[in-house]
Amino acid sequence: MTGGGRLRVGLAQMDVSLGDRERNLARHREWVDRATQAGLELLVFPELSLTGYFLKDLVPDMAITLEAAELRELEALSRDCDLVVGAVLEESDRRYFNASLYLSGGELVHVHRKVYLPTYGMFDEHRYLAAGDRIRSFPTRYGRAGILICEDIWHLSTAYVLSLEGVDLIICPSASPGRGVTTDERLGTAESYGLVCRTYGQFLTTFFLYCNRVGYEDGANFWGGSMVIGPNGDVLAQAEDADEALATATLDLGEIRRERLANPLLRDERLEVTITELRRVWHERTRRPY
Amino acid sequence: MSEPAARTDPPFAPLAINVPLVRKILVRFIQNEVRKVGFERVVLGLSGGVDSSLAARLAAEALGPAAVKAFLLPYRGSDPRSRADAMAVVEQLGISCQEIDISPQIDSYFARFPEADQRRRGNKMARERMTILYDQSWAWRALVLGTSNKTELLLGYGTIYGDMASAINPLGDLYKTQVWELAEGLGVPTQIVQKAPTADLWAGQSDETELGFQYRVVDRLLYYLIDRRYRVAELEAEGFDRRFVEQVVRTVRDNQYKRRLPVIAKLSSRTIDREFRYPRDWGH
C-alpha cells in the first residue's frame, strides 16, 4: 500500500466539556469544518473527545452504541476527511469501553478499544471501564494504520504488534493530564511523551500521530503538545502546550520506504525469536510452584 | 526559632519551579474553574501574608482586577503591619477591597466563654472569616478563592471549615517554599515574601515557632515522604533525624480528617463519595 503520495493530516488539540456530549459533538462539527477548509485528509481528535476524560460514574450516561445517532452524524462528517473520534462505547453485553473510532468516506472503518486502562495514581479507569483485548491494524486509503489510546503506548508490546502488522501510521489519541513541575520549561509529562513518541517513530520506522487535548477537569490540566513524528523520529509538527490548536503536517508517504531501506529494522525483526522467548517466559511464570 | 527563615536558602533543587510555567497553569486554572461553572469573580481573605497575596496576584491576572475583591478581616489583636502589607497588595494589583473588623462578633461570643484559650479563639476567628467570605461571595456572585498551601494542608496547620474552606484553591499543590519562589518571581512585594510567616492569630505569633520547625526543612522532608514515598530508613539516610520524621509522619496522619469530607455512616448500596462518584466539573 505504501507506494508514496502525500497525506495532509491534522491533530485537533481541543478542549472538551466533561459530561456534555451534545456540546462536544457540536465542537467536532466545527473542527471538521476547519479541517476541510484546510484541505486535510485525516483529522485526529483526542481520547474521549465526545465526553471528557474523568467521567467516573458518568461513564454509562455518556456511552454510545455503534447504532447511535451521533455515530451516523460522525460518519456523515467523514465523507471528505477521515476522522478519529474518542467515545465511550457500550456493547450489547453492557460492557463500556474507552474507544477510538476510525471513520472514512461516510463509514465506520475500525474501532480500537483501549487495552491498558490506567488505574493508579490519579487514574481510575478500570473501576468504570472494560479493557479491550485486541491490537489490530486496518487498511485506509493511504496505507495501513493502527490506533493506540494514551496509556496503550506506555506498553511497548502494543506498538510492536502494530509494527509487525506493517503499519505506516500509528495514531495515538490521548487525554494526558500534565504533572511534574520542575525548573524545565515543560511539564514532566510533556517531556516523557515527547521521548516516547519520537522513539516509536524511529524504532518502528513509522509515522506517529499523537493528539492530546487541552483544558481542565477538576483542577487537572491537559497539556496539549500534540505532535506528528516522521519514520526517522523527526518532529514534523508540534502544537504549543496548553492552547487549543490545529496542528497540521503533510506526510510524504514515500519516506517510509526510504527510511526502511536505510534502516531495515522491520525487515530484520526476528518475530520467531520473540515468540519463542515470550513462550518460554510465559511457561516459566506459569510453572512456578507458588 | 530565632533566625528569620522566610526564604529557601540554599534552594532545594527538587522543589525549584519554572515560574512562567506554573504561573500559566495556575492563571488558566482560575479562569477555567471559575468561568466554566458560570462565575466571573472571586473573593478572598487577604491577610498580608504571602499565600493570600500570591493568590490575589494570580486571580487578578486571571480574571482582571475588577473581578477580584479582597477582604481584610482583622481582629483587634492583629498586627498593624499585616494591614499595611495587605493594602500594598491591593494597591499594586488594583483590586477592590473591604475591611471588616471581626472584633465585635468575636468578643461578643467569647464574653460568654472567657476561659477560651488562644487556639480556640484563633479557630473561631478563622471560621468567622470564612462565614464572611461565603456571605460576601453570595452577595457579589463570586467564588471563594482558597489560599492554603500543600505544607499547611499536609500538616493540618489550618482551621477545618475556616481558612481551609474554599471553592477553588490554586496553591494547594505548592509547598510553602514554592509559594515563596512563585511569589518572588511574580513580584509580590518583597517585604511580604521575606517576612516570617504568621497566622496572626495573636500578637507575635510565628508559624515556625508554633510548628517547631522551619518550612524550608519540613518541605524537604515532605517532598521525600509524600512525593517520593521514601521510607523512614531512607529518610534517615538522607540526613533527617528519626524523631523529626516520626513527628511529621504522625502530624500528617493525625490531620487526615481535615482533608476529607465528614465520614458518612454507610447504609445504602450507593453512598455519596463511596459508590456515588462524580467529578466536581460534572457537565462543564
CA B43, CA A160: separation in Å to the nearest integer?
A: 53
Contact A242 B25 (CB under 8 A): yes
Spell out the domains of chain B, with CATH numbers in brackets. 13-259 (3.40.50.620)
Indicate yes or no: CB of B17 within 8 angstroms of CB of A20.
no
Residue type, B244: F
Active site residue A56: no
Pick from A61, A165, A175: nearest CA to A114: A175
Contact status of B181 with chain A (Cβ, < 8 Å): no
Find out whether B60 and B93 touch, Cβ atoms under 8 Å: yes
- Taking the C-alpha atoms of residue B94 and residue B275, their distance in angstroms, rounded to an integer, is 46
Q: How far is A51 from chain B (nearest CA, A)?
A: 10
Any catalytic annotation for residue A47?
yes
Which alpha helices (DSSP H) does B6-79 contain, by range?
19-35, 50-63
| Edge-to-edge strand list for the sheet holding A144-147 | A137-139, A144-147, A169-174, A207-212, A227-229, A235-238
Cross-chain residue pair B279–A218, CB shorter than 8 Å: yes
Alpha-carbon distance B126 to B122, whole Å? 6
Q: What grid cell was written down for A124?
A: 481510575
Strand locations in chain B (E): 41-45, 68-72, 96-99, 142-144
ipTM of the complex: 0.93
Residue with cell 500500500: A1
**Do the chains contact at B17 and A218, CB–CB below 8 Å?**
no
- pLDDT category at A3 given cuts 50, 70, 90 is low
Taking an 8 Å cut-off on Cβ atoms, the answer to whether B279 and A19 are in contact is yes
Q: Is A221 on the interface with B (CB under 8 A)?
A: yes
β pairing state of A235-238 and A214-217: unpaired
What pLDDT tens digit does each residue of chain B (284 aa) get?
334 444 545 679 999 999 999 999 999 999 999 999 999 999 999 999 999 999 999 999 999 999 999 999 999 988 899 999 999 999 999 999 999 999 999 999 999 999 999 999 999 999 999 999 999 999 999 999 999 999 999 999 999 999 999 999 999 999 999 999 999 999 999 999 999 998 887 778 888 998 899 999 999 999 999 999 999 999 999 999 999 999 999 999 999 999 999 999 999 999 999 999 999 999 88
- Name the active-site residue from A41, A125, A150, A259: A150
Q: In order of start, what are the domains of chain A with their CATH numbers?
A: 6-265 (3.60.110.10)
Closest CB to A185: pick one of B21, B33, B283: B21
Q: What SS3 class is residue B216? A: helix
Put simply, whether A57 touches B (Cβ < 8 Å) is: yes
Please tell me if residue A216 touches chain B, with a CB cutoff of 8 Å: yes
Q: Residue A254: enclosing H or E segment and its boundaries?
A: helix A254-262
**Ramachandran category for residue B85: left, alpha or beta (phi over 0 → left; psi -120 to 50 → alpha):** alpha
